Amino acid sequence: MDTAIGQLNPALWRGKVLAPDVRARLLKIAQDFLTNIKLPIQPVDILFTGSNANWNWTPSSDVDLHIVVDEKNLPCPGEVLADYFHDAAAIWNEHHVVRIHGYEVEIYVQNLDEPLVAAGVYSLVKNAWVHEPQAVMDPDATIVKQKADALELRIDRVISQPASQTTMDTLEGLREKIRTMRRAGLARGGEHSVENLVFKQLRQRGAIERLSTSARAVYDEIMSLGEAADGVRPSMPNTRAMVEDLEALASWA
């Protein structure tokens, strides 16, 4: 089990209430995200969850921002809409590095019918706990999977891009983010910390190996002169093109 730190993150909380500036900024980020995805969405709720809404936060913990929507009220098929939201959040997370008092914001879009099993869940709309965490918690399997899924999608999106210095820098940034996340988790919560369990899931899925292999291949290609490097990057689906196609669904509204 994770050991309680003794308090919620004081950079984000005032006792057991979210700091007013943090709440206001997260609500603005959520609204900007919804405006940019071009669908007529009125969120059911906007939630703050994950280890920064729990006692087991670490210096590398993210601010997990869950935007809850009722997909039944939207004019698209369920599976297509879920994929659209997943990719829209992945694109935002890839292209933005927004930090709240030093903690990076990660956006998720959650269907109203999708269960959220988390130790701590705070409603930004109501400015109140949906589920208040206790001082000692087991790592949440759902949170571990969500964070592993989001990082794996970011890895696969980046390694599908053409070789360039920008791609190389992004790959190295992801490698450093994962290394820092794991080190902080081990230091604060041991081998059963959320961060270390996320790393283990990524390793089991082969995402860590894909990231390292791609970084080497991109370096070889951008350093070569006259001919392409011998190394071949893993073939990944063109998710950017898929998202562009899905954006046409907005015209259904």
- Closest residue by Cα to residue 249 from 50, 33, 77, 27: 77
Segment 29-64, tens digit of pLDDT: 999 999 988 777 889 999 999 889 988 788 888 999
Position 58 in a domain: yes
Which domain covers residue 74, as residue numbers? 13-252
6 within some domain: no
Residue 108 — pLDDT band, cuts 50, 70, 90?
very high
For residue 101, the tally of other CB atoms under 10 A from its CB is 13
Task: Confirm whether 20 is domain-assigned.
Answer: yes
Tens-digit pLDDT profile for residues 215-252? 999 999 999 987 544 444 443 434 343 344 334 333 33
**Packing angle, helices 141-159 and 239-247, rounded to 10:** 100
Burial class (CB in 10 A: 0-12, 13-18, 19+), 96: middle
Token representation of residue 1: 């089990």
Is residue 26 within 8 Å of residue 48, measured between CB atoms? yes
Residue 228 belongs to a domain:
yes
Does any domain span residue 145? yes
Structure tokens at 109: 């879009």
Please indicate, yes or no, if residue 7 is contained in any of the structural domains.
no
Instruction: Decide: 145 and 51 in contact? Cβ < 8 Å.
Output: no
- Residues 166-197: pLDDT tens digits? 999 999 999 999 999 988 887 776 667 888 88
The pTM assigned to this predicted structure is 0.60
Confirm whether 1 is domain-assigned. Answer: no
> How many folded domains does the chain comprise?
1
Token pair for residue 76?
């698209």
| Residue 222 contacts residue 164 (beta carbons within 8 Å) | yes
121-150: per-residue pLDDT in tens?
999 999 999 999 876 555 678 888 989 999
Mean pLDDT, range 150-162, rounded to an integer = 93
C-alpha gyration radius of the chain: 19
List the beta strands (DSSP E) in 117-168. Answer: 121-123, 128-131
Write out the two tokens for 103.
């903690």
Is residue 189 assigned to a domain? Answer: yes
